[in-house]
Amino acid sequence: MKRNYQFQEIVRSRIATFDIFGIGLKKHHIPAMLEFDVTDSRARLRELRKKGVSISFNAWLIKVIGSVVSKHPEAAAYLYNKKKIIIFSDINVSLIVEKKTGDARVPIPLVIEKADKKSAAEISAEIDVAKGQELSRDDIVLKKKSSAYERLYYRLPGSIRRLFWRILLKNPKAAFRTMGNVSVTSVGMIGRVNGWFIHRSVHPISFGIGSVLMKPVVIGNEIRSREILNMTILVDHDVIDGAPMVRLLGDLTDFIENARETDLVPGPEQKTEAGL
């Protein structure tokens, strides 16, 4: 008798996604669902591409997020204990890069270190290098070889794996070294979705990037068609209160809707440091 179903193997890296979702449900995140007018900023990116400066929209958003969060570092702080939070001097952004291994596309984590101190062009180049990196089946995180302990993680029962995450989050320094203090998920960039998605994260602050859609916007006394980005932001209420969060969102709106030259390409000081 011919069966009317088939089995498909779950790629190893997705197991961590299951665990993060489960632990993330227990975090005290406040979701904010926002729209940003990115018409002018995207136009600047297109102009730079015509001049030979290759910057992806996602890389630019990561740079903007790094710059804004560096102005409000408490938003990316970890809860140290009931009386203290720990604030790191760098903004390290975790994102997912889809890699093809064999016939399957596998989501692999990548951490952009010091995203607040790099230009969008540098971040874009770093992501391109990561996409071109060859992987073995045992590799879990891009830009570094997985340790025996990390490979063992995927062979453990779910209850023990989730215990690992709880222990990691109680050690903020180890958590920062492993996964940074900000996460960015760009699911909405894969296709056009007229809405928002509510993601889950174990990071203090995370950004769910949605689609860019043409929408009517009132500017002055006129209705114009503009490019609007949907974004969901999760902020840990244990480390930041409502008023500081609103100030952060105000700066984020300003930075996203008005692309700054210093965020796009390296300035003279950055070029000197990077040897460019």
What pLDDT does residue 262 have?
60
Kind of pairing, strands 93-101 and 182-185? parallel
What pLDDT does residue 69 have?
97
Domain boundaries, the chain: 13-267
pTM: predicted TM-score of the whole model, two decimal places:
0.82
What pLDDT does residue 272 have?
39
222 close to 237: Cβ distance less than 8 angstroms: no
| Region of residue 74 (phi > 0: left; psi between -120 and 50: alpha; otherwise: beta) | alpha
**Domain 13-267 CATH superfamily:** Chloramphenicol acetyltransferase-like domain (3.30.559.10)
What pLDDT does residue 118 have?
94
φ/ψ (deg, to 5) at 5: -150, 170
Environment class of residue 239 by beta-carbon count within 10 Å: exposed (0-12), middle (13-18) or buried (19+)? buried
For each of the chain's 276 residues, which pLDDT tens digit applies? 678 888 776 666 666 666 776 777 678 889 999 999 999 999 999 998 888 888 999 999 999 999 999 999 999 999 888 889 999 999 999 998 876 666 666 677 889 999 999 999 999 999 988 887 766 555 444 445 555 666 677 777 878 888 888 888 889 999 999 899 999 998 766 667 788 888 888 999 999 999 999 999 998 899 999 999 999 999 999 898 889 999 999 999 999 998 876 666 665 544 433 333
* Helical H segments across the chain, by residue range: 13-24, 39-50, 57-71, 120-131, 148-153, 158-169, 172-179, 242-257, 261-264, 268-274
Q: Report the 10 Å Cβ neighbour count for 3.
A: 6
